[in-house]
Amino acid sequence: MIRPLAPVVRTLATLALAGTFVAPSASAAPSKDKAAPKKVKAEKPKAKKKRKKGDLEIDLPVETFTLDNGLRVIVLEDHSTPAFALSIAYNVGSRDEQEGRTGFAHLFEHMMFKGSKNVPDGGHFKYILGVGGEMNAFTSADVTQYYDVVPSHYLDMVLWLESDRMRSLEVTEENFENQRAAVKEEKAMRVDNAPYIGVILDVFADLWKGTGYGHPTIGSLEDLNAAETKDVQAFFDRYYVPNNAVMSIVGDVELEEVKQKVQQYFGDIPRGPDREKFEPVEHVQEKVEIEREDKLARQPLYLIGWKTVPEYHPDAKPLELLVNILLRGDSSRITRILKDEKKLVIASLPIGSLGGGRDAGMASAAFIPVEGASFDEIKKVVVAEVEKVKKRGVSKKELQKAINQLTVDTVEQLATNLGRCIMTAQHELFYDDPKHILTDLEEYRAVKVKDLKRVANKYLTDKWVTVAVMPKKDK
């Protein structure tokens, strides 16, 4: 039996991120010029909530401050290991791109490593990797985020590297052409020549047409070919500015030293234009049935999904828990029936992250059928289990299991300096609260059995999206 599950799962799980990359190294040296420290606006730590019996004993003892230019900074001291992680989350993703100029956010994930006024091409890699550190970046529909993990005595070096490219990225014709070619190569390798991926991305983009989520994060070849250096510079000037970014530093650092040095390296970078507010994304959906051929596919891939709610909607957590109960893992309701009882699929997996981004939510799943299994057979099982939830709900045990799964996911994210660094930056960026990830945990734990029955009836209707990706037939 063919079992393409592992590569499909890995690919589908990372489709919302445009990917990471490796660039060559070069030499450089940190500047020794130091500006006089200025006062920064310190913010009072928020009062701790009184914990109730049964609450999770998890805390993020963060301190925050904001520079005059709008750069928000989060510091979480943890002296358990002699290292720290630094992340800068820029409030820009593929949803910010203009029609005819898609792929710019992802392009900048590459461009930011091509050198700045005092750092040559590849210098960032040379310095971070040269001291035994790690670094990378990722792009989604909503955010572009960079991170570094280094021994604790390299604080000056990392702040200098990050501030120099925020202040003076080298947007040259040569650098642009080089990275445009790199993105084309990445698109060809990871999307155009991978089974299912290109077709699935195009389908989900079509579902959100007319919104910022109506195109894949990696963009199109036509738009990349049409772009000019001046377009790239304008994108940088608009979005890569301190008041459109959040920096988080987690690990073996001292708050007062961080305040002084962040001001030293970032304080003189000019504030940029303020961000416009996004209009709410319409989630109304009619029944959509799609069949596409994929010349690279060797067997079918079936998808079923519903447009639901944005990430921050009160019903988002019950829906996420419901999808876990139905589809996460071999013991989940639908997967157990399809895989073990009826032997219709090799695997099923939830892929809600493909639905768009924070403002465009979907509950969806992919199914890899066994040879000879039809989509209609799989649909019947899905419909039957959804109807059971609508009528009878789920058990307390099922709900608790789903809550436990998502709690473990969160704890794993918060177990490292890098995980805390990335998550606190994102939650400050999107919710104005670096500890909002703990609020997420509280919201999961507050969901009741009746909530899952309610959201099943409200959102998992017969107005669903079904997609059959079929191997291309030989003529």
Q: How many CB atoms lie within 10 A of CB 446?
A: 11
Phi-psi region of 388 (alpha: psi -120 to 50; beta: other; left: phi over 0): alpha
**Residue-by-residue DSSP string for 160-195:** HHHHHHHHHB---HHHHHHHHHHHHHHHIIIIITST
Q: Which CATH architecture has domain 288-471?
A: 2-Layer Sandwich (3.30)
Q: Over range 77-106, report the average pLDDT.
A: 94
Percent residues over pLDDT 70 in the chain: 87
Phi, psi of 358 (to 5 degrees): -60, -35
Please give the backbone phi and psi of residue 303, each rounded to the nearest 5 degrees, phi first: -130, 145
The answer to whether the 5-21+60-266 and 288-471 domains have the same CATH topology is yes
Exposure of 180 in the CB half-sphere (CA atoms within 13 A):
21
Residue 452 contacts residue 325 (beta carbons within 8 Å): yes
- Give tens-digit pLDDT for 425-474: 999 999 999 999 999 999 999 999 999 999 999 999 999 999 999 998 87
- Residue 290: CB atoms within 10 A of its CB come to 15
Residue 3 has pLDDT above 90, yes or no: no
**What's the confidence (pLDDT) of residue 473?**
80
pLDDT of 55: 60
Whether the predicted pLDDT of 269 surpasses 50:
yes
Confidence of residue 354 (pLDDT cuts 50, 70, 90): low
Query: Using an 8 Å Cβ cutoff, are 170 and 114 in contact?
Result: yes
> Residue 18 pLDDT > 50, yes or no?
no
3-state SS, 356-380, equals CECCECEEEEEEEECCCCCHHHHHH
Listed by start position, the domains of the chain span: 5-21+60-266, 288-471
What does the pLDDT look like over 19-33, one tens digit per residue?
222 222 233 333 333
pLDDT in tens, 172-184: 899 888 888 989 8
Task: Please report which confidence band the pLDDT of residue 123 belongs to, taking 50, 70 and 90 as the band edges.
Answer: very high
Q: Is the pLDDT of residue 235 over 50?
A: yes
Q: Poorest-confidence range of 76-80, 83-87, 199-203?
A: 199-203
The predicted pLDDT at position 32 comes to 35
- Tokens matching residue 414: 């918060």
**Alpha carbon of 7 to those of 11, 20, 70: distances in Å?**
6, 17, 42
Closest by CA to 148, choosing from 58, 86, 229, 75, is: 86
Judge whether 304 and 364 are in contact, CB under 8 Å. Answer: yes
pLDDT surpassing 50 at residue 1: no
| pLDDT computed for residue 312 by the predictor | 92
Angle among Cα 48, 49, 52 to the nearest 5 degrees reads 140
Question: From CA 294, how far away is CA 214, in angstroms rounded?
Answer: 21
- Domain 5-21+60-266: give its CATH code: 3.30.830.10
Residue 324 has which token pair? 């876990």
pLDDT at 108: 87
